[in-house]
Chain A
Amino acid sequence: MSRNVLIQNKNSINLFDVKEEVNIILCPTLYSVRFFDIPIESNSELKLVIPNFFEDFFDIEGYSFYHIKLEKYKYMCFAYKQDEILEILDKINLELKYIKKIYFLQNEINFENNIIYNYKEIKYICSDNIIVPMPKNININSNCTEINTEEFSLSKYNIFLNKSSKYIDNTTAYILSFIFIMFSLFNFYKINANGTEVSIYEQKINSLKQKYNVPSSMIQTKSIINEYKDIENSYIEFLNAFEYILKYRESSNTLLKSIEYKNNRIILNMNNKNKVNIERHIQKKYKILNSRAFNDNLLIEIKI
């Protein structure tokens, strides 16, 4: 069972050196409590409205609020300063991680009206069902009931301190964290999906390579393609040259005795009828490497 520690104010505390879980009970010096009739049931709306009710009593700047529903439209509302509590916890050297829960004294002891209670020389009195600290300068003749923290049977009403930020509360931080984690998970899923997509493409490439017996290196494949293209180009060049020569033969009615093709060269054996015209025609498109005429033969070697 965790120890209960009653916190009253900055001056009435001892340094805390135990490293165990404790329940903190806040004394009325650290909070303000009021009963309000509010015709609202929604918790979120109540959270918005309650500060306005306290505004009639004090400046609510820096206060946090907590409410307990007593009956329909009747609430017990608490206002407390987180910073003040945190400052005290810091002073007594009590880390937040050792705090199990934080309670209000109001809810943790069955007070009777007009009876004075004492805890470490601070007196409290219950007036109109609200426990309030008594001023120090009042002399009390009657007997006081000592508050024993170990006798508390703690209620379900407790608060959480948000040490993190003044601008964002714990719930919002948790919700945002959850959303961000969800986004991150989605992003990591997409990263994984991208990797899978690429590996599917790579598998497709590999199966194509195997199917068509393509060399493993793309550089080698490209060089072979260039080799094949050279074959194709020389085929096209050969066709063009052949067509060019045959067309001339038809148009000029020159007798083509033989035609020979090898090593990208064409050797023509033509009737030596009109050497100049033949050569002129060929030179329009191709380079003549050699041209010889003997008897009625004209031998022309062309580079294509």
Chain B
Amino acid sequence: MNKFDINPLFLLMSTIVILMISIISLNKSSVNKNKNIININKNIEIINKYNSLKNTWINAKKQESLVNNIIKQQKIRNANILINKDKIKVIINSNPKVLHRVINKLLNKKINIIKLKLSKNQLVFEVGLL
């Protein structure tokens, strides 16, 4: 009852107002959190996709190693490999049987072929490096 006392009804009404504010804020915050998490998960998905596509198609070392592996596997000695900044050019002169095997291997790997020319005894292809 001294001057430091707060009117209990005033206190009660104030706490009700604070409670209402906190409930509304919590509700908004939860909605925002859910939206943000959905958005963030989408972004994580995009980043993973970006990384996967980049590793598959843009990784120059990987593309080069795939091409080299095919040539080594087929034991081709006279393959002419020219590596530029933006592409790998391969010229293989061999008999149709070998070339057929190389083509099969080439088409079964994820290689960014930008040009390809197959004739009876020659296979020329270019692999793009972004």
Contact = CB atoms under 8 A, between A and B. Distances in A.
B69 interface: no
B114 to A, nearest CB: 7
Nearest to B119: A258
Per DSSP, are chain A's interface residues mostly helix, strand or loop, or mixed? Answer: helix
Contact of B2 (A97, A161, A170): A97
B43 A218 contact: yes
Interface string B83-120: 00000000000000000000000010011111111111
Nearest to A179: B15
**Residue among B1, B25, B29 facing the most chain A CB atoms (10 A cut-off):** B1
Contacts of B112: 231, 235
Given A170-B8, A228-B58, 13 more contacts: A21-B2, A96-B5, A97-B5, A100-B2, A163-B7, A165-B9, A188-B25, A212-B47, A218-B43, A218-B46, A228-B54, A258-B119, A260-B115
Contacts of B2: 21, 97, 99-100
B72 interface: no
Nearest to A160: B1
A160 B5 CA distance: 11
A221 interface: yes
A238 B3 contact: no
A259 B3 CA distance: 99
B47 to A, nearest CB: 5
Contacts of A224: 50
Interface of A: 21, 96-102, 160-165, 168, 170, 173-174, 176-177, 180-181, 183-184, 187-188, 190-191, 194-195, 197-198, 201-202, 204-205, 208-209, 212, 214, 218, 221-222, 224-225, 228-229, 231-232, 235, 238-239, 242-243, 257-262, 269
Contacts of A232: 53, 56-57
B33 interface: yes
Contacts of A99: 1-2
Contacts of A218: 43, 46
A235 B114 CA distance: 9
Which bracket fits the contact residues of B?
A: 35 or more
Interface in B13-38: 14-16, 18-19, 21-23, 25-26, 29-30, 32-33, 36-37
Contacts of A201: 36-37, 40
Contacts of A160: 1
A111 to B, nearest CB: 26
A204 B48 CA distance: 13
CB-based closest 7 A-B pairs: A164-B9, A173-B8, A187-B22, A228-B53, A180-B15, A258-B119, A184-B22
Contact of B114 (A21, A191, A205, A262): A262
B116 A261 contact: yes
Nearest to B9: A164
Contacts of A102: 1
A209 B44 CA distance: 9
A204 B10 contact: no
Contacts of A21: 2-3
A228 B26 CA distance: 42
B32 to A, nearest CB: 7
B12 interface: yes
Contacts of B21: 184
Contacts of B3: 21, 97-98
